[in-house]
Structure 1
Amino acid sequence: MSTTTIRSLDTAILDSLSVEASDKIIVRALDLLKRGRIDRLSAKGDRIEARVSGSSSRPYPVTVSLTSDGIAVDCGCPFDWEPICKHGAAVILAASDEREVARLAGRIGGEEAGRDDEPDGAGTAETGAESYLAIREQEIAVRVQRGRHEKMRIRRIEGGMVFGRFRVEGPDGERSYDVQIRDALIPVNRCSCPDFHVNMLGTCKHIEAVLHRARKSAGRKFDKLSRTRPEIARVAVRRDDHPRVVLLPAARPSPEHRRIEGRFFDAGGVLASDPRVAIPRIQEWSRRIPDLVVDEDVRVYLDQILCDDSNGSREEEIRREVAAAGSRLRGFRGQLYPYQVEGAAFLAGRGSALLADDMGLGKTVQAIAAALHLRGRGDVERVLIVCPASLKHQWAKEIERFGGIEPCVIWGGPKERRHLYARRAPFTIVNYELVIRDEKLVAELDPDLLILDEAQRIKNWRTKTADRVKRIPARQVFVLTGTPLENRLDDLYSLLQAVEPRVLGPLWAFNHRFFKPVESRAGNARKRPRGIGHRNLDELRRRIRPIVLRRTREKVLTQLPERIENRFYLELTPALRSFMEEGVQAAATIAARAEKRPLTPAEEKQLFAAIQRARLACNAGSLVDDECLDSPKLDELTRILEDFATNGTRKAVIFSEWERMIRMAAEKAREIGLGHELLCGRVPTKKRGALLDRFRDDPDCRLLFSTDAGGVGLNLQCADTVINLELPFNPARLDQRIARVHRLGQKRPTHVILLISERSIETGIERSLTRKKELFEEVLSENAMATELDSVPGLLRAIRPVLETLDPESFPPDAEERLDAARDDDLSEGKEAPPRTEQERREGERAAEGLFRNAYRKLAAANALVDAGIPGEAFGRVRESLEAAIRAVAPEGAEELPPTRLLHEVLLPAGLVSFDAAALLASAIEVERAYGASDAQPPTTLVSQMLDRASALLADLPDGPRAR
């Protein structure tokens, strides 16, 4: 049939399509039309036929008929949730006049909503990647299905059979939500559930449940009611894709309605004017026009815009206040470092933010300072702190110390806890577990500010803990964690949902934008997604930058003590190696299955158990077999503790993942006669404070044995040694252990000892720790350049590197590594290094020359800063110049030492630099600390003397051993 004959049906078909197909179906149909997915379009009488390519590998045959009852669509796709699927709608649009299609697209915002945001080449159906619209459709379909099949109790509060307000409860009656149905076709309905407000779909399972019941109850009347426009005009908020105010016209629009539509709305019925001006005017008109209704959602929408506006000016005002106060913030009784002042200003100014400083940099004190400042302004009255149980005692002490306020610590039985909540104290402290038990009491507390410490506890959004914590009603939220991203981007997503859900949007859109599929290895007969990779990390950094502040130790290194690390590699006994290899072999067998198909839950548990057995065997034989008493690690620990016992009053913290291992280690300390305490999950919360106080204050209590559960968030600067009885899979967990001791307030070098079983699963773990840190740094580092990283799912991703342990030859260092290790040992023992080759000599010269050039560049930058009128910042460049210069003259192998140790342990004893150099570096560090972040200007004579001395020192330095 000719095109003209097909288009003779245009008006009738499009009018019926507008009634019988929802906007979301039409949007997807427009997308199919735009991408040219309709083929073999033909017409026979009142019937149109075509083939449409969708998400299936084969196109769907579609037949569209126009009958006296409306449109009849016959499509081969499985979609049956609405009368017309997207394929049928696409065929109708393809057979219609382009101008009519454009009019329809403009009415529903199709040009914008139908835009395909999928990057070119991001994925195909073969790899399982779906377009943005296809994924969105799947998400809606999931909610439709859940609304149909999950048991819910629906009670009509007001209105009719279809339109009105309803109360929807789950089967257990624990949760109930208000649902308002305003339109059966356009997504302007509303639900009070959390999913509706963040999913950008315009629906949820509760809305779909109400609509499903209405369809069943009303039968054929439902379609008629759905198509019938009401006698009133309604101004509402559409929440599909992004919130926007729309006008739903009445069946017979009055002149006043048309006047409002023409003045404030575009041709598609979307608000086109500034909502700050337009919405108040529309609300004023609605009070005079009885058949014009403005939904409450519109007021909430406007309030959010005005709140965002005021927050911007409020943030600037608070930052100015804090900058003017310096380290003496309102209500704060302590002294803050400059970077801590910046952190407190960031938290107080933003109101809701994530502070992701490295462990040990004082996130607790920054949060307390910010909270006290907000209380002083009158912005905050009640603060709720949620933290691990082991940290409640510490938070209480810090609040009393810095704020002079006695906080209320929640503990005891239900009756006692209820009494404590009723105090409504300025600061209330509760642990994560009690948030679940006391959900209603916590909600009744109605805190103005919520502080989540060690917030990695909510990084898994699927857990009950994360769900309950995010339900706490608070206007402002401080999220504190040194490890916002431990293994997966999902970790960061869950944390930021607690801060500001709008930043990253719904999870499905987040996954689409920042995850990519990773195909299986070449050679498989059928390609399958092996895991998940990441993309668009540069965009992710831009999005989170306004609400995430992270400073690493390197940025404040001059305020932290130095850290010394020793790794002791221990050989397994034959029995332990046999146990270890059995576990690794079992894990490898299960992991091999994952290359062919997804693992079952039972297989995942078996995989975890096998890896656990291999790791336990590296610690002690009795952990896997009661009859095996072998444990090279406990033997080595005994030797370390015997040496430690002779070193006066020094204290150490010993960590293990397993309580039984910790208890066996503590028994070794008892045999030696070293006083100690033991902290693990079984120790009651009420006893932990006294236990930690004894370790800090009793000189005879030299050791603290702790599991990882006990190590989270503790401040243990009284110790100067950290002993790790094994390497955890997660690098963040290892950092947490060390940061308990190596943190602000530590006045001595921190000694870190790691016990590692040689040629075992632990050496594989050691290698994997470096790779695991890459994702963390690439997302959160300001200077990160990578935008794509590959990884593999969950546990398999973590263990794949360590399965190399099946090949014993892969673990001993190769010849070059052994030579380097021997050379380092010789240097440390004072032996003469072997003669270098000519190539090594030339490489040393180039390295030294590069360091000298860097030193002169830094000094030139310092002079430029002085010329620019900001001499206070020049001292940092002077320090960097001196550090580069002294590294240039350092012997090979020693240049990686921290600058102060390099000077005093190597360069000064060898006569390679003068004492003037050491004094100048120390002066540069102190002066930088005094003036670097201060508004005060240093004396001109001090600046010129420092620059002159640095310039003279560079001129006098020798070329260095590596350049000879």
Structure 2
Amino acid sequence: MATKPAKQRTLHDHLSRLNLKRVEKLLGADAKSLLANCRQYQIEIPQQAKLTAKRLQVRFFKVINGKRNAVVTISLSEHKRKRLKIDCTPCPQSDTLIAAVLHLVLDNKLELGLSIPPGEEPPWELLDDEALTLYAITQREKRAKDERMKIESHDPSTPWADYSILNYQSGKSYHAALRSFEPNNAYCSCQDFKTNLLGTCKHLIKLQAHIQRKFKKADLETPHVQKEFAVALTYGNELTPRLLRPANSQLPQRLLAKLRAYDALTDKAAPEMLRRLLDLVRELEAAEQPVRIYPDAERWIEEQLIRSHLKTKTASIRENPDAHPLRTRLLKAELLPYQLDGIAFAAGAGRAILADDMGLGKTIQGIGVAALLKEEANIERVLVICPASLKAQWQAEIAKFSDLGSTQVLGTAAERAAQYANSGFFTICNYEQVMRDILHIESQNWDLIILDEGQRIKNWEAKTSRVVKGLRSPFALVLSGTPMENRLDELYSVVEFIDDRRLGPAYRFFSKHRVVNTDGKVTGFRKLDELRAHIEPIILRRTRDSVLGQLPPRSTQFIRIPPTDEQAELHAHHMQTVASITRKSYLTEMDFMRLQKALLMCRMTADSTTLVDKQRPGYSSKLEKLGELIQQLCAEPGRKVVLFSEWTQMLDLIEEQLQSCKAGFVRLDGKVPQKKRQQLVKTFQTDPDCRFIIMTNAGSTGLNLQAADTVINVDLPWNPAVLEQRIARAHRMGQKRPVQVYILVTDETIEENLLATLSAKKELATAAVDMDSELNEVALECGIEELKRRLEILIGAEGDAPIDESQRAEAAAQDAARKEQLALSGGQLFSAVFAFLNDALPAPQTDPSEQQTALQRQFTEGLEQCTERDAEGRPSLRITLPDDASLQALAAGFAKFAALAQAPEVK
């Protein structure tokens, strides 16, 4: 009988299964140094990475001696085993660029579409509860079958015992317990068992198959005999403790009555019930009946009791934070009432997210939470994980606001290992160090872990997220102004670090809250009211509007700029590509590549044609307007400006304008090393001659720029949170002056439509995390004008600084004047064409006949009936064309006539 040929792995299969060990093998002996050095390259997936069925291609802009681009391509070799083939355009940095692309795949499988192999996982949203459960169990059965594990029994004489399970694939060991094949009679220490709500996991499935092979049927049919009293946890929809008891225990009637009373309790997880359970345990031990409390149950009970104490304590603070003495006593600075309220909320929750708007003082609240927990819960060690650029700032603010010691993790691997074991209260490291130093970090006991810029773990299947979320501590705090930027997946990932059971397993969460079409494409989100109810106990968000009385004023001005003719023509060319692709009923991978490129070209054209065709000097009405604005701001003494653009090449052009104005400036983008950034920021903050700091989004993460009183957004980002983050660099707590925000938008380009995309994303983020929101569903398609209006209100154009009606009238007058000038020019062209026709046609040999004169008179009378005259007596002819094709034909005819009229005379 012929054997079925093995299925060939695709490129998607290889990339989705790529792990660190395989990457190190591909990179060779220098793998570790290459992976460390490759982090300097910030790869924007939509703009630089293109993945098709046959290749992954990543383009690096201007990295070869600053002259041209480099491209790394990953494909499959022609070898029969289809190994990965990696190529890079020749350049000195090729090895580092290849490492950067492989690192990108490891950390961004979800964004690249690699985290779920195609065909293996149907859209969760289209399955009912029963099918979801069956599917989830089937997936774990498959993993149990495919993965090698070593199983050791603590009591080989019976199947119903405790076990140690080593998973060879992950290299991790787990403790398991099996009492029967019935639900809730098994336990595994792996995270999946604790959170999936299935009552099983791949390790328990493997264990059950193992004992079915090892033991006889009679052994398996013999029930487990409980030999001692024990307290264990039940991992159902809610975590609840249960008291296991031996079958034939001899107890006094008084104790038996108490046991029956405890069994009748309903809410066994309530703090008062936990105390009754502990009282019962003490009485059993006094009656010489030892009680075993399993480690996970002991930890959970202790956490619940501490949190009960903290909730009582912090509730009194939150009743009136304005008058509470902790405002002046907790730290070495007077806290604002909302800041003390945030500290009390986070401490009372135990594990919480502070999602205040940028600039409202989340760092000082984080320090305050640690100080309050030191007083009330006796914590001794705090790990702060933040972006590398913020480590020094955290250490400085800890020293400024408290007397608590801090250690910043720096230096070689050996030096860092010793620093994690220091005796200081705060230990400060960055996200990249967590990846490298995870074994040293896990070897320490942390009471509180603080994640600053917590959106770094928003990609719920990225390696960084998985490693960080694997850290354990009784208390945790996430600080993030944007816990969700684009998708509910991001919010799910951040909440998972705080409470990995709160939103349930991923497959159920997405099934409940996402709306998909029959192809599995996400088209919207639903049941947001239920989502808000679930996260309300652990997330606190305050907007600037809610504390506006404590912030300096902010005004926003949109500067709308008409494009040059060259910009309009180039933009129209690329929009034709967009239109032709989007009209297709089915889009291929190549279509998606062309579409992304065309949209990128449109965005760049709205800034300058130079960004697209690389030709100098280029055409840009935006740069002309920006030059005028720069001159105006330079003329105002003391003005300090933060200027943002999406593209480094645009910053190159802006640099030339600043140099011509002799304006002092510094520049930050993704290429500036972390070590130099703080000095550049300090120069901008303290040097009166440094008037501008110009930067891309990659250069701005986490910076406090209160010295600035002006923010210029040269172009619009895809993401509304990024726009708010830009503005919040200057408009934040600590700012002493009013802040002026300028947003430059090129009319009649994709930037106008981009306002709609930004607003739709902002609406989703607000609906998910704003507890006062009344939105229950969000569609991803909305009217452009309505969304544009909402965004302008959101960032202040109509809310903080109402539009002057005189400005609106002036704009309308300018529009009318433009149309009038266009009509006059069109009339001149129309007259010129027919004058040319009159001259070009052969002249009659004799005077015009009476018939010709009569026809001309009739045409004149007919045209007069279609004509209106203005105040100056000029005739205005109005005609209606049958369709757009007629308009195109008329324009083509005019062009031909004009060309003929300008052609040299042929003799």
Matches within 5 A, 1:138-217: 138-156=135-153, 159=156, 162-215=159-212, 217=213
1:443 aligns with 2:445: no
Letter in 1 for 2:469: K
**Corresponding position of 1:736:** 725
- Work out whether residues 355 and 482 of structure 2, in 8 Å CA contact, stay in contact via their aligned partners in 1: yes
Q: Please say if 1:557 is aligned against 2:555.
A: no
- The reply on whether 1:716 has 2:705 as its aligned counterpart is yes
**Matched ranges for 1:659-738 at <5 A:** 659-738=648-727
Partner Cα distance (2:423, 2:249) in 1: 55
1 CA distance for matches of 2:648 and 2:220?
Answer: 63
- Please give the secondary structure, in 1, of the residue aligned with 2:613: coil
Report the Cα distance in structure 2 between the residues aligned to 1:294 and 1:326, rounded to whole angstroms: 40
Q: Is the 8 A contact 1:162 1:211 kept in 2?
A: no
Alpha-carbon contact 2:322-2:337 (below 8 Å) kept: no
**8 Å contact kept, 2:124–2:132:** no
Give the aligned partner of residue 776 of structure 1.
Answer: 765
Q: How far apart are residue 158 of structure 1 and its match?
A: 5.3
**Cα distance, 1:603–1:187 mapped onto 2, change above 3 Å:** farther
Aligned to 2:341: 342
The match for 2:367 is 368
How has the CA–CA distance of structure 1 residues 296 and 636 changed in structure 2, closer, same or farther, with 3 Å as cutoff? same
User: Does structure 2 conserve the Cα–Cα contact (< 8 Å) formed by 1:326 and 1:341?
Assistant: no
| Bigger RCO of structures 1 and 2 (CA < 8 A, at least 6 apart) | 2
What SS does the aligned partner of 2:742 have?
Answer: strand
Question: Deviation string for 1:308-360 (max 9, x for gaps)?
Answer: 53343343366589766446443511122222222222233333221111112
1:203 and 1:370 mapped to 2: Cα distance?
37
RMSD: 4.1
3-state secondary structure, aligned to 1:657: coil
Match of 1:226 in 2: 220
Q: Distance in 1 between matches of 2:154 and 2:573?
A: 63
Q: Distance in 2 between matches of 1:704 and 1:457?
A: 25
Deviations 1:898-948 (A, max 9, x none): xxxxxxxxxxxxxxxxxxxxxxxxxxxxxxxxxxxxxxxxxxxxxxxxxxx
CA-CA distance at 1:297 after TM superposition: 5.0
Structure 2 SS opposite 1:176:
strand
SS of 1:624's equivalent?
Answer: helix
Give the Cα–Cα distance (whole angstroms) in 2 for the partners of residues 204 and 589 of structure 1: 49
- SS across alignment from 1:232: coil
After TM superposition, the structure 1 stretch with the greater mean CA deviation from structure 2, 740-749 or 776-785, is 776-785
8 Å Cα contact 1:177-1:192 kept in structure 2: yes
Which AA in structure 1 matches 2:601?
R
* Aligned residue runs from structure 1 range 500-899, under 5 A: 500-513=499-512, 515-519=513-517, 528-573=519-564, 576-577=567-568, 580-581=571-572, 584=575, 608-627=596-615, 629-632=617-620, 633-791=622-780, 824-825=806-807
Q: CA deviation at 1:733?
A: 0.7
- The one-letter amino acid of 1:409's match is Q
Q: Kindly tell me: are residues 554 and 172 of structure 1, through their superposed partners in 2, closer, same or farther at Cα, counting changes over 3 Å?
A: same
Q: Deviations over 1:806-832 (max 9, x none)?
A: xxxxxxxxxxxxxx999532778999x
Letter in 1 for 2:390: L
SS in 2 for 1:381: coil
**Retained in 1: the 8 A contact 2:672–2:699?**
no
Instruction: Name the amino acid aligned to 2:666.
Output: E
Shift of 1:162: 4.5
Amino acid at match of 2:555: I
How far off is 1:280 after superposition?
5.6
Structure 2's unaligned 5+ residue stretches are 1-121, 789-801, 817-907
Cα distance in structure 2, aligned partners of 1:583 and 1:403: 56
Helix, strand or coil for the counterpart of 2:357?
coil
Q: Tell me, in whole angstroms, the C-alpha distance in 1 between the residues paired with 2:362 and 2:430.
A: 18
Amino acid at match of 1:677: V
Matching residue's letter, 1:544: I
Write out aligned runs for 1:385-464 (5 A). Answer: 385-405=384-404, 407-464=406-463
The alpha carbon displacement at 1:694 in A equals: 0.8
Q: Which residue of 1 aligns with 2:485?
A: 486
CA 1:289–1:337: 2 relative to 1, 3 Å? closer
Contact 2:327 2:337 in 1 (8 A): no
**Which residue number in structure 1 is paired with residue 11 of structure 2?**
none
Give 1:239's match in structure 2, choosing from 216, 235, 239. Answer: 235
Paired residue type of 1:227: E
> Match of 1:767, SS?
helix
Q: State how far apart, in whole Å, the 1-side matches of 2:498 and 2:141 are.
A: 29
Preserved CA contact (<8 Å) 1:560 1:744: yes
**What is the rounded CA distance, in whole Å, between the counterparts of 1:561 and 1:552 in structure 2?**
14
- Give 3-state SS (helix, strand or coil) of 2:536's partner: helix
Given the superposition, is the C-alpha separation of residues 175 and 353 from structure 1 closer, same or farther in structure 2, using an over 3 Å criterion?
same
TM-score, length-scaled by structure 2: 0.66
1:589 Cα deviation from its structure 2 partner = 6.0
Tell me how far apart the structure 2 counterparts of residues 541 and 591 of structure 1 sit (CA, whole Å): 35
Deviations 1:368-400 (A, max 9, x none): 233233335562222222122222232222222
Q: Show the 5 A alignment for 1:93-112.
A: none
Q: In 2, Cα distance between the equivalents of 1:745 and 1:785? A: 32
Q: Secondary structure at the match of 2:537?
A: helix
Q: Once the two structures are superposed, what CA deviation does each residue of 1:100-145 show, in whole Å capped at 9, x if it has no partner? A: xxxxxxxxxxxxxxxxxxxxxxxxx999633333322322222222
Q: Which residue matches 1:872?
A: none
- State the distance in 2 between where 1:548 and 1:192 align: 27
Q: Indicate how the Cα distance of structure 1 residues 126 and 677 shifts in structure 2: closer, same or farther if over 3 A, else same.
A: closer
CA distance in 1: counterparts of 2:468 and 2:520, whole angstroms? 34
Match runs of 1:74-153 below 5 Å: 129-153=126-150
Does the 8 Å contact 1:721/1:741 carry over to 2?
yes
Structure 2 distance, partners of 1:584, 1:261, is 80
Q: Per-residue displacement from partner, 1:673-731 (whole Å, max 9, x unpaired)?
A: 21111112222222222111111000011111112122222221111111112111111
- In the TM superposition, what are the counterparts of 1:261-340 in structure 2 within 5 Å? 264=259, 274=273, 276-278=275-277, 281=280, 285=284, 298-300=297-299, 302-303=301-302, 305-316=304-315, 325-326=324-325, 328-340=327-339
Whichever residue aligns with residue 188 of structure 1, its letter is N
Contact 1:276–1:302, Cα closer than 8 Å, also in 2: no
The 1:313/1:556 distance shift into structure 2, 3 A limit, reads closer
Q: Aligned residue for 2:898?
A: none
Aligned partner letter, 1:375: K
Contact 1:386–1:429 (8 Å) recurs in 2: yes
Moved more, 383-392 or 416-425: 416-425
Q: Deviations over 1:628-675 (max 9, x none)?
A: 642513333333222222222211011123333334423432333211
Equivalent-residue separation in structure 2 for 1:295 and 1:422 (angstroms): 28
Distance 1:376 1:246 in 2: 32
Query: Residues 820-859 of structure 1: CA distance to partner in whole angstroms, max 9, x if unpaired?
Result: 999532778999xx9xxxxxxxxxxxxxxxxxxxxxxxxx
CA distance in 1, matches of 2:294, 2:634: 74
Map Cα deviations across residues 440-487 of structure 1 (whole Å, 9 max, x no partner).
222234332222112111122111222222222222112111122322
How far did residue 164 of structure 1 move? 3.8
